[in-house]
Amino acid sequence: MKPDTVLWFVFLLAAATAASSARVRKLDVKKHLRRLNKPAVKSIKSPDGDIIDCIHISRQHAFDHPSFKNHTIQMRPSYHPEGLQFSEESKYTDRATRPITQLWHMNGRCPEGTIPIRRTKASDVIRATSVSAYGKKKYTTVPPTPSFFAAPQPDLIHQYGHQHAIAYVQGDRYYGAKATMNVWDPKVEQLNEFSLSQLWILGGFFKYDLNSIEAGWQVSPDLYGDNHTRLFTYWTSDAYQATGCYNILCSGFVQISNEIAMGASIYPISRYAKSQYDISILIWKDPREGNWWMQFGKDYVVGYWPAFLFSYLSESASMIEWGGEVVDSGWWDGRHTRTEMGSGHFSGEGFGRASYMRNMQVVDGLNNLRPAREVAAFTGRPECYDVRLGRSSDWGSYFYYGGPGRNHRCP
């Protein structure tokens, strides 16, 4: 066979293989969309372009998994934590803060007996590296160096490409946590980066078998296809390896609320030196059933993570963290991302300019909410993103945090 004939044959074979792979991926995407997008009782078009499908509560994605085969939905927690130490309001409320909601509420609500689900589009799944990777965090494991094992516990979550500015407590058994955080729309430089602010409920060891429940707000163009600020949750029971996902993109979180859509846009957003808008998130372990519940604001009990999803968290958490996280996709070449954390301003700028988390509380073994004590702080690159702790009679334990990313001190 002549050389040019061989080359032409190889070209045709490669083209045929690529076409076949494209067809398989397209088919996989369609199948995955059918699994995620259940038949709706009602659909609502959000002003930001999202479609919110109201599906029957018993048809949510969680119940597709064999582990949920005999699961009975717990329609309300057996107990709420007691002893709320601080008001949901702030001394700044009358002049600077306002109530907050989700953008899709402008065009309707879901009926009783249904839950609101953000409809997943083909483009959402296609942006992922694979269908199986859609809705999961992309973590890189820290190498097991001596400095790794000698580092403070929070440093174990600082991974290549992920940077944090957090406050944390450890050294006790924790059964939940709460905080109020103001909401911003930080600029995200690259498609594969994100910026978020959240609380973490943690148990186990990061490198091997970390259990984590997370909730807060995030900007993630890779996950959502835009730069809107969205309410989110995440969970894992094996250090982000095979289990868990964002929101309800896999079996895990069981939603009961017909008013809050996970992954949907939050509105309105805080503006620099102008009105501030904040949200409160409470996560706690039901002392009777053992499930971990999430409450958004004062009024919305959103749903729960069943205790059987976890190993360490089936009993209690050993660490609570609050704060911000960004992905820095340029860490490998030494050029820091311009992706902002929080407001994009450092903690020293204070109220109305920097991001804050206030009224930080933990749930103890008696199901009481109590002020977080002996709070410590950690940031991997303070010249890029920093954190400053405080305490007051109005805000209890609080901190300011965030930053612009790359700047003259953070090249």
pLDDT digits (tens, 9 = 90+) for 29-62: 999 999 999 999 999 999 999 999 999 999 999 9
- Average pLDDT, integer, range 51-75: 94
Q: Is the pLDDT of residue 96 over 90?
A: no
**Contact call for residues 64 and 245 (beta carbons, < 8 A):** no
- Average pLDDT, integer, range 213-238: 97
C-alpha span between 220 and 298 (Å, rounded):
26
Name the band, by pLDDT with cuts 50, 70 and 90, for residue 14: low
With b for 16 or more beta-carbon neighbours within 10 A and e for fewer, the 266-305 pattern comes to bbebbeeeeebbbbbbbbbbbeeebbbbbbbbeeebbbbb
Candidate ranges 23-32, 132-141, 188-197; pick with highest mean pLDDT: 188-197
Give the closest residue to 241 by CA, choosing from 112, 89, 133, 149: 133
C-alpha span between 115 and 300 (Å, rounded):
13
Type of residue found at 38: K
pLDDT given for residue 116 in this prediction: 98
Q: Which of 189, 193, 321, 325 is catalytic?
A: 325
Q: Is the dihedral of CA 238, 188, 275, 105 positive or negative?
A: negative
Q: Is 383 among the residues known to form the active site?
A: no
pLDDT given for residue 87 in this prediction: 47
- What is the SS3 string spanning the chain? CCHHHHHHHHHHHHHHHHHHHHHHHHHHHHHHHHHHCCCCCEEEECCCCCEEEEEEHHHCHHHHCHHHCCCCCCCCCCCCCECCCCCCCCCCHHHHEECCEEHHHHHCCCCCCEEEEECCCHHHHHHCCCCCCCCCCCCCCCCCCHHHHHCCHHHHHCCCCEEEEEEEEEEEEECEEEEEEECCCCCCCCCCCCEEEEEEEEECCCCCCCEEEEEEEEECHHHHCCCCCEEEEEEECCCCCCCCEECCCCCCCEECCCCCCCCCEEECCCCCCCCEEEEEEEEEECCCCCCEEEEECCCEEEEEECHHHCCHHHCCEEEEEEEEEEECCCHHHCCCCCCCECCCCCHHHCCCCCEEEEEEEEECCCCEEEECCCCEEEECCCCCCEEEEEEECCCEEEEEEEECCCECCEC
Neighbours of 17 (CB within 10 A): 10
pLDDT given for residue 4 in this prediction: 67
- Average pLDDT, integer, range 261-266: 98
Percent of the chain with pLDDT over 90: 77
pLDDT given for residue 332 in this prediction: 72
pLDDT given for residue 12 in this prediction: 61
How big is the CA angle at 299 (ends 293 and 305), to the nearest 5 degrees?
A: 15
- Average pLDDT, integer, range 378-393: 96
**Torsional class of 304: left (φ above 0), alpha (ψ -120 to 50), beta (otherwise):** beta
Q: Is the pLDDT of residue 64 over 60?
A: yes
Give the closest residue to 40 by CA, choosing from 59, 64, 68: 59
Q: Is 374 among the residues known to form the active site?
A: no
Q: Where are the domains of the chain?
A: 1-36, 38-402
Over the stretch 272-330, which tens digit does the pLDDT of each residue have? 999 999 999 999 999 999 999 999 998 899 999 999 999 999 999 999 999 999 999 87
Query: What do you get for the CA distance between the two ends of the chain, in Å?
Result: 57
Q: Which of 189, 214, 321, 340 is catalytic?
A: 214
CATH number (2.60.120.1270, 2.30.30.30, 3.30.1330.10, 3.90.650.10) of 38-402 reads 2.60.120.1270
Q: Is the pLDDT of residue 222 over 70?
A: yes
Neighbours of 327 (CB within 10 A): 25
User: pLDDT averaged over the chain?
Assistant: 88
C-alpha span between 124 and 193 (Å, rounded):
15
Joined together, the tokens standing for residue 397 give 């334990």
- Asked if the peptide bond before residue 268 counts as cis, ω within 30 degrees of 0, the response is yes
Type of residue found at 379: T
